[in-house]
Chain A
């Protein structure tokens, strides 16, 4: 069945509404909506877009949405996806801009922040678990996973640098394979 622009917009609008607690949550949300429920893209696609989205400038959730939208329906799809993601954010801020300070200082809202933060973290770990199954398929990919994970979490190496390094490793891998064949 053909995916319409309206469907793309609607789906991303839904994801945009649930996009609480920072842009990384977009991954588990897209995984649940687009991979599992609708089957529009695969876990592998998502993983690739996330890696690329981290290595180029811009807001990560926006980058990933544009990648997915483009994959589904070229430039028009990308436009539909990004509008859907941004619109809930836009509306929310326009509505609460005037009462910003009051909201932050209400205690029970702070408790909600705290709880949602943990929910978000759990979704993130679930996504890692799913994506691991699809992307870490042999010794080499396992090595890349731990290399990036350790460099990023222990040594705070910038994601852009790590992605450039990984691209270089990928190129070398293919070059070595070619040489071995000859």
Chain B
């Protein structure tokens, strides 16, 4: 039963990938080895494509695996099952937090969690910066950041500009 297998494998991926970002990748590689729904080459292509198609990589790969094995229904099942664990856990956690929102300990924990969330996000940014940026990229980033800090516009505006800048840089062989 391919549908059941898809459901089980992607539910498992959603349930055990901690930490966000690329935490789903080890599971997705494991699935590639086990079932041959997609090859590891296709997976690395997917990861590249996922940076320009909308949506998180984990969701993109689930849709792709489901679609390439068993069409649109497979895509639907795989996509739903990778998200289902999140849905259940987040709703339970939200209910708990709502019920105890006046508790002093819960308040204190939330007060401490906020700067921690900010710290984690900053670490993600630095990590992405160190790993994928060259000199031209740095100039582009600096320019965009100054423009963005001076005047806040729709994110789409900046993504559009950076896509065009990428094209131009690629034309002159400057893109990483």
Contact = CB atoms under 8 A, between A and B. Distances in A.
Interface of A: 16-25, 27-29, 32, 36, 44, 47-63, 66-67, 70-71, 75, 78-79, 82, 85-86, 88-90, 92-94, 96-97, 100-101, 103-104, 107-129, 131-132, 134-136, 140-142, 144-149, 152-153, 158-160, 162-163, 166-167, 169-171, 173-175, 177-178
Contacts of A89: 53-56, 59-60, 63, 79
Is chain B's interface secondary structure helix, strand, loop, or mixed overall? helix
B137 to A, nearest CB: 5
Contacts of A116: 51-52, 159, 162-163, 166
Contacts of A94: 63, 67, 72, 75
Interface string B69-108: 0001001100100110111011101100000000011011
A59 B18 CA distance: 8
Nearest to A78: B91
Interface residues of B, number: 96
Interface string B113-126: 11111111111111
Contacts of B108: 170-171, 173-174, 177
Contacts of B91: 66, 70, 75, 78
A152 B123 contact: yes
A78 B90 contact: yes
B118 A132 contact: yes
B77 to A, nearest CB: 12
Interface stretch (B1-9, B29-37, B140-148): B140-148
A92 B127 CA distance: 28
Given A82-B87, A171-B105, 17 more contacts: A51-B113, A58-B86, A61-B59, A86-B55, A96-B49, A112-B166, A112-B167, A114-B166, A115-B140, A115-B163, A115-B164, A128-B125, A132-B122, A149-B120, A166-B112, A167-B109, A175-B105
A51 B117 contact: yes
